[in-house]
Every structure is written in C-alpha cells, then in structure tokens.
Structure 1
Amino acid sequence: MSEMEDKGIIGPVSRRGLLKGALVGGATLVGGGLLSACGSTTSVAASGGGLDYPAHPKWHFVFVNHVTTNPFFVPTQYGIQDACKLVGCTYSWTGSETSQVSEMVNAIETAIASHADGIATSIIAPEAFNGPIQQAIAAGIPVVAYNATVSPNPAMSYIGQDLYVAGQQMGQKILSLVPPGSHIGLFIATPGSANIQPRIDGAIAAIKAAGNPITYDVVATGALVSQELSAVQSWYLGHKSAKGMFAVDAGSTQSVGQVMQQFNLPAQGWHAGGFDLLPLTLKLINTGYLDFTIDQQPYEQGFYPVMQLYLYKLSGGLMSPDDTETGLKFITKKNVGLYLKTESRFEGSTAKELDLANI
C-alpha cells in the first residue's frame, strides 16, 4: 500500500476507473497518467502497479474508413495504435481510398466473416451501412461510428464532430471576413458524402440566414489531394473577380491555401479557410495565405473508438459505447504557433511517441 493510500488520501485505483474517466473527461487524463502508460509496454493482462485489468484475449478491432490513404487520418491511426498498445489489443485499417460505399460495406462484411471483436466505421451514406451494422451486432460484434455518421443508424455510438454545426460556424466566419456583395468558392471533395456534406450545408445555411449577403459556387474537387489542387486552380482561373475560397475537407483546404499562395491572393483582398490540420495547412495559416482552419481532433477519433469497444468487451456488454463530441476549434495566425513548434502524434506531425519525461 502506498503512503497516500495508508493516510486515506486515495484508495486503490483500477485501470478500469482510469479509462472510464478518460472516456468521460478525456482531456483531463490525457495530460496525466493515461498518456504515460502509452509509453510503456502493455501486456494482454495490462500489468503494472496495482492498476491491472483482468487478463483478456488479445481482441482485434477493424477500422473501416472512406479514404484510407488520406493524410487527415494519420493522427487517427496514431490514436488507434496508442489505445491498442495501452490495452493490449490489435487493429486493422481497411475500407476505400476514394469513398466508395460498396468497398466499405464489403470491408464490414469481411470483418464479420473473420469474427472481428469489434468494428469502427465511418458512415458516409444513408441506409447502405444499416444492414451490415445490424448483421455485426446480431453476431455479437459491437460497432461504433467515427468521423462521420448519418442518422438514424444502428451503430452503438458516434465519435466525432457535429458536422452541421461546424459548417454553420464556418459560414459565420466567412461572413465576418468577406465583404457583402462578394462571390466565393465553396470546395468539397465528394459532394453527398456524409463526412463533409453536412458542413457545406451548414455553411450555406448560415449565409442564407444572414440574408444572402454573398454569392457562392459549390465546387467538387475529388477524393485525392492531387485532384483537389487542380480543381481549385481551375476555379480560381475562371473567377478572378471573386474574393474568397473556403473548403470543408482537409485536402481541399490545403489546396485552397496553395492557390492563395501561388497567386498571392491575400494582397488582392482575398480570404480563405477550411478544415483540419494538415502540416502544410498550418504553415499556410502562419504565412497569412489562409485565415483559419477548424480542428476536429482526429487523434481522438481513433483513440476513443478503441477504448469504447475495449470496455464493452471487457465488461461483457455492461459498459455501452457513448456518443463523444470531438469538438470545434478555430486555428488562426494567433494560435497556430503552438501547433507548428510542437511535433505531436496528436496532430499527426510525427510518428514518435510522446515522452512525458522530457516535456
């Protein structure tokens, strides 16, 4: 028994309690003992200092994604890796490179056939995912949604941003930057996809709610970053009298910033912004070519699904997954410095694990 326990200051603490706290108030624990555990070796029995969980099978969780090679999901995969290391589980990363729903559905069905212990999937289309998710749950496989969802669906929880509200916030930000009477471009990688369409819907709703003081074009850019840059360049060359470009996905946001830099558009009174924290996007904010980007904590969108699936399995179904909002934060030139000077798995800027001893 520790001195603090002997004095009655604290009682024995279980890792179950720590991790439950991480799910309820994750940010608090991220700064403390939870992350220090990420740097240690975790056995299936999760041994260590009186914080042990019972020994358990090395459960395998399947993550189904709509753009498996997109750089936005690098920190998501780091979050998955760190959570799996913490609790002694494994994972696989599968789905589609280009938001093909049929490929994602096939991946879920394959996970069911291979008897996965849990499934986390982005849900980017209405109805198409319902049958496979119901099939998985009927087979005793818990399923959670992350990053994108369409309601209603049978997934047990959703871990991600409120996409429509985020779009509304972006729309209001646009109106604060662009003069009335201006024309802008709104860029979206894959129109109709549930991970980004609600954002552009929210932005348009905010513009309409303000009385339509500006006009806009909605421009599809494509699922691959190379396609997105070409699409943004083409739109600009045909709309040189416009005053802004704004995007609702990571690749399009980076591309908007690149075009703003290529043609030095801030000097011509243009404004631009979008979503997510690709390293180049952050640099373009710092140099003044982008006004803002919106963070949605992609690391959490990998970490928390693992923890929810794990606790569900460990408790025999007593601890049900819960919806988890991963937030909305504007990154501007005023606060981008922290992101640029700190290389972190949390933002995907390094693969190196956090060493708390040297902070």
Structure 2
Amino acid sequence: MERTHTRRPHGRRLPRRLLATVGLFTLAASALTACASGKATDDKAGTATASAAAGSDSGAKSNGKVSVYVIGGKADDPFWSAVKRGGEDAAKVVKAGGGSVTFLGPQNYDNLGPDAAKLTLTALSQNPSAIVVPDWVPDSQDAAIKQAVAKGVKVFVYNSGGVEAARRTGGLKYIGSDDYEAGKAGGVKFAESGAKNILCVNTVPGAANSEARCKGIADGAKSKGATSKQLPLPSSNFGNPSAVTQAIKGALLKDSSVDALVTIGVQDADSAASAIEQAKAGDKVKLGTFDLSTSQLNRIKAGKQLFAIDQQPYLQGFYAVSIANQYLSYGVIPPQNPLLTGPLLVTSDNVAAAIAGTAAGVR
C-alpha cells in the first residue's frame, strides 16, 4: 500500500460515505476564517497530536506565512505526477492565503533513502512551517525527519511508512495507502483467479513500501493456498524497460511453474507485459500491478491484465498539503490517523470509471 474502520482484505472500494465525509471536511476546513480550538486525537496506533488551540505552536513561522515543503518521487514518474497534481490543487488555497508550497524530488531511485534524507534537510534549511515526506527507507530517513521535528517543524508522513513511521519520528499524521493490505488484496485476487505460483517483481528492494507490497502479496496468496516469492532487481533497473523486461523474461523461462506476475509500479508492469509476450506465456501467466496508468487500464479492459491496485495518489498529495495548511493556519486536523487513500482494486468490473479518472489526470 491504518484507519479507524475495518480493513478490507479483498481490496474493495472504501465506502463512498467515508470518502465523501473526508472530502467535505477538507473543503470545509479550507474555508474557515477563524481559528478553532480543542485537540485532535489519533487512534491507538498513532501519535498524540499537538494542541490545536488558537495561539499554540501549530501556526506558521514568524513571518506569518505558511511554507510547506513536499518531498516526492522523480518528476517523470507517472505516479508522482498524479501526487503532485493533487498537491498543486491544494496549494492554490495556500497561495491564496499568501503562503507557498515547494515540491522536491530525487533525480533517480538509485540511492533513494539517503537522497530523501538529504532532501528533508534541504527543506529544513529553508525554515519551513511544515514538511510532507514519505518514509521510504526508515534507516536512512528517520534521523533527518526527527531533526525537523526537534526544530519545531510540523511533519506529515505520507505515501510510505504508515502510521508507525509517524509515531516513530514524531510526525503528526500518516496519509496514504496501506501497502501491506494492498498486497494482500492482490495475492487473494490472484489465488482466487487460479494462480498458484506468483512472482513479485521488486525494482526498489529494501524500500519499506515495496517490501510491504511483496510481503502482502505472499501472505494474501498463502491464505488461499497459493505461493509467492520476490524477484528483486537492482534499483537502477527501475524505469529501464529493456532491463526489467529481460530480467522478467529470464525468470519466466527459468521457472515454467510461475503463473502470475505482479510489479510494484506501472512502468515495470509495461515491461512485465512485454516479457510475458516474449516468453510466449500470455495464455498462462496472469499480470497485476500496483498503481494505475492508461496502458494498465487498457489491458484490464481488453482482458490481458487481471488487476491494478490503486492507492489514489492524487488524494495523497491533495490531503497532505490541505491538512498541513489547515493545521498551520487554523489549528484544525482530522482525527483519523492514519487517513487512508486506498487500497482500491481495479478490475474488469470497475475499469471504466478508473479510465475516466486517469483521463482527467487524477488517477
């Protein structure tokens, strides 16, 4: 891929009423013109938030303007483009109030944890009001995040790490999907569709979210009598279609018992589809992936891909920036911790709606 409602191990959609409630809360809080008082409370897995009373340390820096730094992925990564789109839409409210939102990302994923830590420290050097950051590699990033918290910067963990990362580092909230539960949903779907031996292709081995996804796939498959193992590839292969295709093709030719493939992202899913075709295994090997893109949805619609697991990246960017701004400006914060944006399983049953969302640039 953490919420105050019952988790859905089969990846069904979140109740529309819950999503609507959160959305209305976000919009209503953005329109507030006076400070709120009281405290926001987290569930047992989360951390206690700071006081939201007017005049507390929840406000912006001394210049009176909200300054939010958002750390994300590569600029050319389709998933992170959707995250940024959501963040930019939320940033319109920040800018209307005289504040600013700045987006930072690495050049590549070869050294993800240390690079993310450096970006966090870069953001900290600008004296921000808040930092929004994924906790991809805790061993590399936690020290930098804790340093920001120690200096009074409000930190919101999103996308990766879960509520445990927020609790561990002193972040106020986690916003995102539950990667492990998302993986379980995919593993169950594969097994229920007849797969027995699933390969989880991991092009960012060691990253907390990709490891949680593959573990979830394995546990979900096991619960239905199937098995799964990882195919870890060098992180330099991420975004290198030829290298990923050849690695997956080689794995399929080496082990003819593999009857399902799942990838941790959409770029790798395109490579996996090519590998299946080149290995002449299209009539046997089922394909699934985490996240969405037009090519994934078109394959699902055509019956050539079983599923895609959506964590709704637009909502991650939108909610993270909105909540940071609301807390800094008005001292209000949603009580749910974590605030989940997924997982949602996209299959042939609901692919039409997902295609419409992708065309609009929000899925």
Note whether the superposition's TM-score is higher than 0.5: yes
Q: Does the Cα contact within 8 Å between 2:346 and 2:354 map onto a contact in 1?
A: no
What's the counterpart of residue 331 of structure 1?
346
Following the alignment from structure 1 to structure 2, what is the Cα–Cα distance between the partners of residues 296 and 184? 21
What's the counterpart of residue 72 of structure 1?
79
Residue deviations 1:9-31 (CA, integer Å, cap 9, x gap): xxxxxxxxxxxxxxx95535758
- The worse-fitting range, judged by mean Cα deviation, of 108-117 and 256-265 is 256-265
Q: Does the Cα contact within 8 Å between 1:94 and 1:107 map onto a contact in 2?
A: yes
What's the counterpart of residue 229 of structure 1?
245
Q: Does the Cα contact within 8 Å between 1:156 and 1:320 map onto a contact in 2?
A: no
- Structure possessing the higher relative contact order (Cα contacts under 8 Å, 6 or more residues apart): 2
1:116 aligns with 2:128: yes
In the alignment, structure 2 segments of 5+ residues that lack a partner are 1-16, 36-59
CA 1:59/1:229 → structure 2, altered by over 3 Å: closer, same or farther? farther
Q: Does the Cα contact within 8 Å between 2:198 and 2:227 map onto a contact in 1?
A: yes
Identity, % of aligned positions: 24
In structure 2, the residue corresponding to 1:255 is in which secondary structure?
helix
Residue deviations 1:179-223 (CA, integer Å, cap 9, x gap): 5xx433221121120121111111112333445x44645342633
What's the counterpart of residue 103 of structure 1?
115
Correspondence for 2:210 among 179, 193, 196: 196
Q: Does the Cα contact within 8 Å between 1:123 and 1:149 map onto a contact in 2?
A: yes
Correspondence for 2:275 among 233, 242, 259: 259
Per-residue deviation, 1:259: 3.4
Following the alignment from structure 1 to structure 2, what is the Cα–Cα distance between the partners of residues 147 and 177? 29
Per-residue deviation, 1:292: 0.6
Correspondence for 1:53 among 17, 26, 33: 33
Following the alignment from structure 2 to structure 1, what is the Cα–Cα distance between the partners of residues 341 and 33? 27
In structure 2, the residue corresponding to 1:159 is in which secondary structure?
strand
1:27 aligns with 2:29: no
- The worse-fitting range, judged by mean Cα deviation, of 137-146 and 320-329 is 320-329
In structure 1, the residue corresponding to 2:82 is in which secondary structure?
helix
Which amino acid is the alignment partner of residue 134 of structure 1?
Answer: K
Per-residue deviation, 1:162: 1.0
The 5 Å alignment of 1:173-322 reads: 173-179=189-195, 182-211=196-225, 213-214=226-227, 216-220=229-233, 222=235, 223-226=238-241, 227-240=243-256, 242-261=258-277, 265-266=281-282, 268-315=283-330, 317=331, 319=333, 322=337
Per-residue deviation, 1:66: 4.5
1:94 aligns with 2:114: no
Q: Does the Cα contact within 8 Å between 1:66 and 1:100 map onto a contact in 2?
A: no
- Report the TM-score, using the length of structure 1 for normalisation: 0.75
Following the alignment from structure 1 to structure 2, what is the Cα–Cα distance between the partners of residues 285 and 232? 20
In the alignment, structure 1 segments of 5+ residues that lack a partner are 1-23, 36-45, 348-359
- The worse-fitting range, judged by mean Cα deviation, of 72-81 and 330-339 is 330-339
CA 1:208/1:80 → structure 2, altered by over 3 Å: closer, same or farther? same
CA 1:264/1:28 → structure 2, altered by over 3 Å: closer, same or farther? farther
CA 1:61/1:231 → structure 2, altered by over 3 Å: closer, same or farther? farther
- Report the TM-score, using the length of structure 2 for normalisation: 0.74
Following the alignment from structure 1 to structure 2, what is the Cα–Cα distance between the partners of residues 58 and 250? 38
The CA RMSD over aligned residues, in Å, is 3.0
The size of the alignment, in residue pairs, is: 305
Following the alignment from structure 1 to structure 2, what is the Cα–Cα distance between the partners of residues 320 and 115? 25
Per-residue deviation, 1:229: 3.5
Which amino acid is the alignment partner of residue 336 of structure 1?
Answer: V
Per-residue deviation, 1:32: 11
